Structure 1
Amino acid sequence: MSPERRSDQADGLPRLPPTYRHEQEVLEAAGIRSWSRLAALADRDLDRLSAAGLATAARLRRLRGQARMMAETGLPHEVAALLLHAGIPDAASLAAARPQDLVTQVGRLRRRLFRGAGGTPDLQQARSWIAAAHSGRIRSQSRPPN
């Protein structure tokens, strides 16, 4: 198993970045303390949670997308977040990606964020992420609808 794959998707939510503090507070108050619980939430659940405080439904959906990517691929949350922000919204899109296009997309995001600093994934890394998406397709069949 790749060192980037997680063996336990039920791990608790880590401390989210400060920009997500309201979302973290709302999720914790609702008893949602794991990525797997977050991945299982429907849109109506996220709407209800966002109405209860300062958390936004859009940010909660982004976090749920990250949680679903993790559940479907076994990738760690940092990689799932990177892929989502690079424009890869789900495991199906990742599975359909070409390694060179993925390297280009993620590299472009990293250069934009870090003004040229930070490593760009190589083709081997991109292939391992795509393989993770292919291996998770069967698990994603049981995911609840939005």
Structure 2
Amino acid sequence: MNANTRSGDSPTWTLPPHFSRERRQLEAAGIASWPSLAAMDDATLRQLGRSGGASEARMVRLRGQARLIVEVGLEPADAALLLHAGVPDRRALAEADPQRLLVQMGRLQRRLTGMAAPLISLGTLQGWIRRARG
């Protein structure tokens, strides 16, 4: 558990600043939590993406992130990293090869953050995969 999580709760609803239009659009529609975003259907997501200057593609990405957060219990940053590494959902994570994913995520993480942030461990990835299968 980190500072963004209260015991038994989903991580705090915080979107990166570059998603400000999408956040405003979602919150105007009454969506202000990861679970409510994860539960959005395609038609509603498309409708929100067409109005208010929000990007439909970004809305889809945010919903994918929300589903990894809710269904697997990941932190928002970890779910976003998995999405950028090509893991779009729980099923893909459950089927992932841990060693291959470790290499893929390590490359991505180094490219995005340099060596400043600690790299994800094989044990952590294996835990995520177990939870996704679970």
Question: For the superposition of Structure 1 and Structure 2, which TM-score range results when normalised by the shorter chain?
Answer: 0.7 to 0.9
Q: Residue deviations 1:79-109, cap 9 Å, x none?
A: 1111111111111111111211111111011
Inter-partner Cα distance in structure 2 for 1:7 and 1:93: 25
Q: Which residue of 1 aligns with 2:13?
A: 13
AA aligned opposite 1:71: V
Report sequence identity in percent.
47
After TM superposition, the structure 1 = structure 2 runs for residues 1-146 of structure 1, keeping only pairs within 5 Å, are: 3=1, 7-9=8-10, 12-14=12-14, 16-135=15-134
Q: Secondary structure at the match of 2:53?
A: coil
> Where does structure 2 lack aligned partners over 5 or more consecutive residues?
none
Equivalent pairs counted in the alignment come to 131
- Are the counterparts in 2 of residues 75 and 132 from structure 1 also a CA contact under 8 Å? no
> Where does structure 1 lack aligned partners over 5 or more consecutive residues?
136-146
- Scaled by the length of structure 2, the TM-score of the pair is 0.88
Distance change in 2, residues 1:113/1:12 (3 Å): closer
Q: Secondary structure at the match of 1:41?
A: coil
Q: Residue deviations 1:7-31, cap 9 Å, x none?
A: 323x5522x1111000000011111
Measure how far apart 1:42 and its partner are. 1.3
AA aligned opposite 1:13: W
Q: Residue deviations 1:39-72, cap 9 Å, x none?
A: 1111211111122211110000000001111221
Measure how far apart 1:119 and its partner are. 2.1
AA aligned opposite 2:61: R
- Are the counterparts in 2 of residues 12 and 33 from structure 1 also a CA contact under 8 Å? no
Distance change in 2, residues 1:125/1:12 (3 Å): closer
Inter-partner Cα distance in structure 1 for 2:36 and 2:101: 28
Measure how far apart 1:116 and its partner are. 4.1
Inter-partner Cα distance in structure 1 for 2:110 and 2:32: 32
